[in-house]
């Protein structure tokens, strides 16, 4: 039975976290203390230093030789069960990979590190901290990696379908990525160069549009001087505008080069989700924007954003034997000129651009899908593993989790204590990590135009999946492996925590239902406190 003292203890643990979030929200929304530029600096500190150090602190203190096998098995079984059910629905009932990824993120990946540890520690005791840390390790090393793999697979599939439609893609024998290509998410302008050998096999090279390209007419005939950004990497809301019209021609090297006939509006290099992004810190340069040059003359070469993020203007990449194809745009290839319709500018930062499509493009995409072929499975796996490895290597949470696990293995194996100098240096940042993480969430909420960005219907469905379906699946899996009593209650409440930040970051970067995930993060934080307290009271009866 839950007593008044138990309830007060839980509130003492949770109210300070929400106090930090409310203060941050008011500092931006009501009192105008912080500007968007200053918010971006605070969020960047939290993402690069506070949260990784906090994660290392908890993981390094956890004894890996006393892992709770049943608890981990229950959590793993619940996630695998959800993934299998969604896969069956996607394959046999035309659910689609997009919704599989989104629903899996909503149902199974809560905010365990920031919310789970203090909440469950107050509810059920100190032993829950070790259980939550074990789940955090699995999330960082296994589940977030799997989620990233699915996102990159989707991005690679879109890239191939758009630039190599029909049976052409089956002839791709190899993908080569330049060293500065971190991901296929479309945040950075990308281009592909394809070469066909005498046997009809295609070799595709993927490179950033800002990479050195001596064989390109654009780099050899123009002197492009970077200009300083006037946004200081702190524009919070990006404006998505139509891409320019494009033409193509053959240059002296027999390369197909696409040109723009109008200037293209420049997009911000920073969004509010970049604070938690796996990408490197945005640079004060327009070279990772939609275009690299804006000159008010006709036939000016322009760079266009990669089509991977699901943009409207799409165009297949022609593959001609003996001809190197340089793909610079995401327009629709239609001979000398492409026809495209203007779309109104969109001011909402978390809109799902992949759902904006013209009627004729939808029909053509359905027709192409029936004849669409894909490269060999090994070719796709090699490509995806390469980009996933590069992206994880630039994520500070990857290093904090691995280093924390390695130190705990050494420390508890040979009873080696952390040197006081290192311990106190880490502690001074980790002590502030929890409060700063909640403060950063408050800044994030204040910078959004709406708390519910995806509409009431989708928000309701998302909340039901997050706070009802997730705990039900977790309770079934826990009972199946033999969890009982307090550990069973801990597993259920843990599954009812608010939406995790990392799935939203992935959704924002890859342009896949970011409005749903942002609503899950923002609105879920507001709903989670009464919901988890309700679970706590009902389970204690």
Give the DSSP per-residue string, 198-212. Answer: TTS-EEEEEEETTS-
Residue 371 contacts residue 167 (beta carbons within 8 Å): yes
* 3-state helix, strand and coil shares in percent for the chain, rounded to the nearest 5: 60, 5, 35
Residue 132 contacts residue 120 (beta carbons within 8 Å): yes
pTM of the model: 0.74
Burial of residue 31 (CB within 10 Å: 0-12, 13-18, 19+) is exposed
Question: How far is it, in rounded angstroms, from Cα 277 to Cα 272?
Answer: 10
DSSP helix/strand/coil, 194: strand
Residue 411 main-chain phi, psi, to 5 deg = -65, -45
Which residue, among 250, 362, 256, 370, has the nearest Cα to 318 in the 3D structure? 256
Strand pairing class (172-177; 202-208):
parallel
> Residue 260: enclosing H or E segment and its boundaries?
strand 256-260
Greatest Cα pair distance, the chain, in angstroms, is: 82
Question: How far is it, in rounded angstroms, from Cα 57 to Cα 430?
Answer: 7
pLDDT tens over the chain, length 541 residues: 688 888 899 999 999 999 999 999 999 999 999 999 999 999 999 999 999 999 999 999 999 999 999 999 999 999 999 999 999 999 999 889 999 999 999 999 999 999 999 999 999 999 999 999 999 999 999 999 999 999 999 999 998 888 888 888 888 999 999 988 888 887 778 888 888 888 889 999 998 875 444 444 333 333 334 443 333 333 333 333 333 334 444 444 444 444 433 333 443 333 444 444 444 444 444 443 333 333 333 333 333 333 444 333 334 444 444 445 454 434 333 333 333 333 333 333 333 444 434 334 444 555 555 678 889 999 999 999 999 999 999 999 999 999 999 999 999 999 999 999 999 999 999 999 999 999 999 999 999 888 898 999 999 999 999 999 999 999 999 999 999 999 999 999 999 999 999 999 999 889 999 999 999 999 999 999 899 999 999 998 8
Cα atoms in the 13 Å half-sphere on the side-chain side of 104: 29
- The pLDDT value recorded for residue 194 is 87
Please work out, in degrees rounded to the nearest 5, the angle formed at the alpha carbon of residue 488 by the alpha carbons of 485 and 490. 110
- The pLDDT value recorded for residue 210 is 56
Residue 58 main-chain phi, psi, to 5 deg = -70, -45
- The pLDDT value recorded for residue 166 is 84
List beta partners, residue 177.
206
Burial of residue 141 (CB within 10 Å: 0-12, 13-18, 19+) is middle
List beta partners, residue 86.
none
Which residue, among 187, 186, 246, has the nearest Cα to 218 in the 3D structure? 246
Which residue, among 172, 211, 176, has the nearest Cα to 319 in the 3D structure? 172
- The pLDDT value recorded for residue 366 is 53
Which residue, among 71, 51, 145, 58, has the nearest Cα to 407 in the 3D structure? 58
Residue 473 contacts residue 78 (beta carbons within 8 Å): yes
Length of the chain: 541
Question: How far is it, in rounded angstroms, from Cα 153 to Cα 462?
Answer: 24
- The pLDDT value recorded for residue 289 is 37
- The pLDDT value recorded for residue 368 is 55
Inter-axis angle of helices 97-108 and 470-481, nearest 10: 70
């Amino acid at each position: 039975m839950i007593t008044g003292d138990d309830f007060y203890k839980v509130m003492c643990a949770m109210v300070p976290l929400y106090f930090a979030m409310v203060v941050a929200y008011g500092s931006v929304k009501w009192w105008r203390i912080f500007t968007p530029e200053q918010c971006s600096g605070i969020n960047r500190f939290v993402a690069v230093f506070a949260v990784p150090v906090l994660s290392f602190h908890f993981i390094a203190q956890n004894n890996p030789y006393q892992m709770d096998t049943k608890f981990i098995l229950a959590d793993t079984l619940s996630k695998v069960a959800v993934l299998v059910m969604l896969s069956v629905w996607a394959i046999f009932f035309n659910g689609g990979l997009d919704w599989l990824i989104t629903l899996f993120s909503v149902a199974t990946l809560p905010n365990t590190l920031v919310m789970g540890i203090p909440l469950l520690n107050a509810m059920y005791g100190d032993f829950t901290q070790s259980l939550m840390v074990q789940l955090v390790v699995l999330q960082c090393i296994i589940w977030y990696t799997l989620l990233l793999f699915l996102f990159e697979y989707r991005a690679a599939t879109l890239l191939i379908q758009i630039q190599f439609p029909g049976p052409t893609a089956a002839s791709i024998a190899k993908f080569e990525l330049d060293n500065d290509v971190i991901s296929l998410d479309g945040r950075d302008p990308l281009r592909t160069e394809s070469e066909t050998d005498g046997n009809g096999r295609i070799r595709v090279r993927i490179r950033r549009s800002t990479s050195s390209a001596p064989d390109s007419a654009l780099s050899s005939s123009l002197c492009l001087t970077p200009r300083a950004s006037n946004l200081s990497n702190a524009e919070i809301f990006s404006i998505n505008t139509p891409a320019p019209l494009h033409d193509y021609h053959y240059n002296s090297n027999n390369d197909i080069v696409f040109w723009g006939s109008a200037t293209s509006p420049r997009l911000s290099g920073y969004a509010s989700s970049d604070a938690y992004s796996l990408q490197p810190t945005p640079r004060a340069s327009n070279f990772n924007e939609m275009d690299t040059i804006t000159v008010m003359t006709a036939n000016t070469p322009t760079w266009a954003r990669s089509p991977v993020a699901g943009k409207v203007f799409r165009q297949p990449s022609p593959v001609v034997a003996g001809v190197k194809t340089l793909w610079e745009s995401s327009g629709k290839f239609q001979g000398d000129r492409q026809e495209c319709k203007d779309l109104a500018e969109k001011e909402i930062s978390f809109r799902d651009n992949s759902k904006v499509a013209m009627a004729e493009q939808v029909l053509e995409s359905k027709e192409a899908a029936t004849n669409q072929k894909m490269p060999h499975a090994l070719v796709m796996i090699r490509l995806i593993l390469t980009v996933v490895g590069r992206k994880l290597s630039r994520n500070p949470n990857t290093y904090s989790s691995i280093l924390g696990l390695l130190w705990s293995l050494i420390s508890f194996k040979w009873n080696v204590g952390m040197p006081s100098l290192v311990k106190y240096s880490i502690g001074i940042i980790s002590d502030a990590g929890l409060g700063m993480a909640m403060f950063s969430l408050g800044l994030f909420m204040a910078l959004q135009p709406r708390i519910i960005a995806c509409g009431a219907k989708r928000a309701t469905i998302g909340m039901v999946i997050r706070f009802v379906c997730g705990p039900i699946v977790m309770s079934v899996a826990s009972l199946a492996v033999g969890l009982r009593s307090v550990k069973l209650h801990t597993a259920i409440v843990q599954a009812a925590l608010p939406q995790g930040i990392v799935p939203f970051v992935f959704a924002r970067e890859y342009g896949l239902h970011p409005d749903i995930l942002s609503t899950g993060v923002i609105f879920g934080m507001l709903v989670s406190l009464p919901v988890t307290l309700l679970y706590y009271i009902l389970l204690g009866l």
